[in-house]
Chains A and B, each alone.
Chain A
Amino acid sequence: MPNSKLNNEYQKEFFKRLLENAGLKNKKQAFSEIFGHPIWWIIEEKNTGLDFKEPDLTHCKTKCKGVKNFNFCRKDILTLLAAVRKTHQSKTLICPGGMRGVCFPLAIGEKLYGYFFFCHLNEELTSQIMGIFSAFLGTILREVQKELELSKLYETIRPRAIALSTIHTIHRLISSLLKLEELLPRIARLSLQVLRANKCSILLLDENKKHLVSKTTVDLSGKMAYSKKMRLGKGVENRVAKTGNAVLHNTILAVPLVHEEIMGVITVQSRIDKKPFDVFDKEILSTLAEQAVIAIKNAELYEEQERVTIGSIKSLATILDTKSPYTYTHSSGFIKLVLALAEELGLSEEETRHLHYAALLPDAGKIWVPEEILKKSSRLTGKEYKLVKEHPIKGVEIIKHIEVLKPVIPIILHHHERYDGTGYPNGLKKDKIPLGARIMALADAFEAMIYKRPYRSAMSIKSAVAEIKRHSGKQFDPKVVSAFLRLIKSKQLKGLFKNK
């Protein structure tokens, strides 16, 4: 916008605020009393030569009954205004009706905004009064100028502050998610919101960097979205993935997801107001993409770390089982039962993860128990039983040096406690036993019952369930038993266990 147009708009706004200024309105009455109720004009400077806005002489025509030709009044006033304009000094006049008038410039520094003119003064104004009034006008003008500048600043800063707050909120919403299957739909929904679009897809390159795989699509129109895998080639998303350049068409906008190299593409389609996407939208999506990349990388790293942790624990369990072949490897059904119980009982993600680790090697300590005791088919002696009872403590000795397994220690240590306090190694009772250990105790007992042992044959699932029920409140936590029975009833555990 040209400077002169900006200046004109500023001037207009300034003048408008001046007329609305409360200070000016409030003091008008007081000055009116001092000056003998003159006629007031506030005239805007038009910056177009002597083409002033015509002063309204209606009041003059009412007050100056003797004047025949008001054109002379108008001419005198305009001459006065021109003089004030030239000098930026206040000037007085005697109008054709014989009335006194005075004109004050409305100026701040070199900038002239208008004129404060009044006529029909009751007497000549002293220089002191003129000075006071000039100072008053100066104060009002500076107040209006400050107000206008603050307003302009507010108009500039506010939308930027709002945008920044949105970016910050989005960052908080996506950076706390560490699972890709939750994170990607969240990113897609947030992108739809910020761009007011109908559909968003996120595609990531596969390991070979040869295919784009659609990981999530959110479509507000409710259409079904199908997962697709595309070989890099033609098409908007593919072009973006190959070139690393964003694509902006009327109804589709796609930007690359880049972390050191291109890792995928995020695409939005169809604004809800049906307008085409523009450069502003592209900037927003690019900013979002940058945030998304960091969150995705975090989630991928976290998942990788999880895989490494689980893999390490499984390796440890395998080594222990190899050393001690009679420790009765827990079936995959055991782990699934433990995790199903955790979900049914509302354990947090972290608690469930710890339980999962514990379920992979609950009996690590049995490596300390002599093999002949482990494979004995007859009843154990007191001394032999004492050795078996020590295995949870021995198990903790094995795992306590592994940092990631430290939260798992209470579960492994107490998974042979009994709800009525008659278990081992510490004889803990009821809620003193960690919940994870109570869950493991039930799952361990159930699995032991339905699989063959050297000292007895396998029970049917029905009999094992009945046995669990019978020992509710004694060996097992009634809450855990109820959860187990709900799972059995809902058939969620069907096919989990196959008789060995």
Chain B
Amino acid sequence: MNVNRLLSSIACFKVVKFFDDNPRIIDTSKGVATFTGLTVATTKNILEQLTKAKILTEHRTPSTVGYSYTADRAMLKKLAAILKRKAKEFSS
């Protein structure tokens, strides 16, 4: 899915912003929901979409799924620009 389109949702923006502000984290959907103030169900759905778009990496075991931020420099640069633009849009 197109990254711009994905980040047009404020919930998705919040999740990506959270990872961008804390790039070292690895957390579950429940953890991310706690820190972004979204519901677990919404967060889980967003995390799966972001994994498909290669913005996040999934780490899976039978009992746990953790998510971490991309390490791809080109993607990080692209995301930084989009996040900056979206932050202005959402605040206005």
Binding site for B on A (CB under 8 A): 158-159, 161-163, 165-166, 168-170, 172-173, 176-177, 186, 189-190, 192-196, 198, 220, 272, 284
- How many residues of chain B have a CB within 8 Å of chain A? 21
A170 touching B24, Cβ below 8 Å: no
B71 touching A196, Cβ below 8 Å: yes
A169 touching B63, Cβ below 8 Å: no
- Residue of B at shortest CB range from A220? B71
A169 touching B61, Cβ below 8 Å: no
Would you give the shortest CB distance from B41 to chain A, in whole angstroms? 19
Would you give the shortest CB distance from B29 to chain A, in whole angstroms? 11
Cα distance A190–B61 when bound, in Å? 13
A169 touching B28, Cβ below 8 Å: yes
Cα distance A158–B22 when bound, in Å? 11
B31 touching A165, Cβ below 8 Å: yes
Would you give the shortest CB distance from A150 to chain B, in whole angstroms? 16
- Identify which of A168, A189, A194 contacts B24 (C-beta below 8 A): A194
- Identify which of A176, A193, A220, A272 contacts B63 (C-beta below 8 A): A176
- Residue of A at shortest CB range from B35? A162
B26 touching A173, Cβ below 8 Å: yes
- Identify which of A168, A173, A196 contacts B59 (C-beta below 8 A): A173
A189 touching B71, Cβ below 8 Å: no
Contacts of A272 in B (CB 8 A): 71, 73
Cα distance A195–B68 when bound, in Å? 12
A169 touching B31, Cβ below 8 Å: yes
Would you give the shortest CB distance from A275 to chain B, in whole angstroms? 13
B61 touching A189, Cβ below 8 Å: no
Contacts of A172 in B (CB 8 A): 28, 61, 63-64, 66
Would you give the shortest CB distance from B17 to chain A, in whole angstroms? 13
- Identify which of B26, B35, B62 contacts A194 (C-beta below 8 A): B26
Any chain A CB within 8 A of the CB of B10? no
Would you give the shortest CB distance from B13 to chain A, in whole angstroms? 18
- Residue of A at shortest CB range from B18? A162
Any chain A CB within 8 A of the CB of B49? no
Q: A162-B25, A193-B26, A194-B24 are in contact. Are A170 and B71 (CB under 8 A)?
A: no
Cα distance A172–B63 when bound, in Å? 8
- Residue of B at shortest CB range from A197? B71
Contacts of A163 in B (CB 8 A): 25
- Identify which of A176, A190, A198 contacts B26 (C-beta below 8 A): A190
Would you give the shortest CB distance from A111 to chain B, in whole angstroms? 33
Counting chain B CB atoms within 10 Å of each CB, the highest count among A158, A166, A193 belongs to A193
Contacts of A170 in B (CB 8 A): 26, 66
Cα distance A173–B59 when bound, in Å? 7
A173 touching B61, Cβ below 8 Å: yes
Cα distance A73–B61 when bound, in Å? 75
Any chain A CB within 8 A of the CB of B20? no
Contacts of A194 in B (CB 8 A): 24-26
- Residue of B at shortest CB range from A164? B31
B66 touching A169, Cβ below 8 Å: yes
Cα distance A196–B62 when bound, in Å? 26
Contacts of B69 in A (CB 8 A): 193
- Residue of B at shortest CB range from A281? B24
Cα distance A459–B22 when bound, in Å? 66
- Identify which of B25, B34, B71 contacts A166 (C-beta below 8 A): B25
A176 touching B31, Cβ below 8 Å: no
Q: A190-B59, A193-B57 are in contact. Are A169 and B23 (CB under 8 A)?
A: no
Cα distance A158–B35 when bound, in Å? 8
Any chain A CB within 8 A of the CB of B27? yes
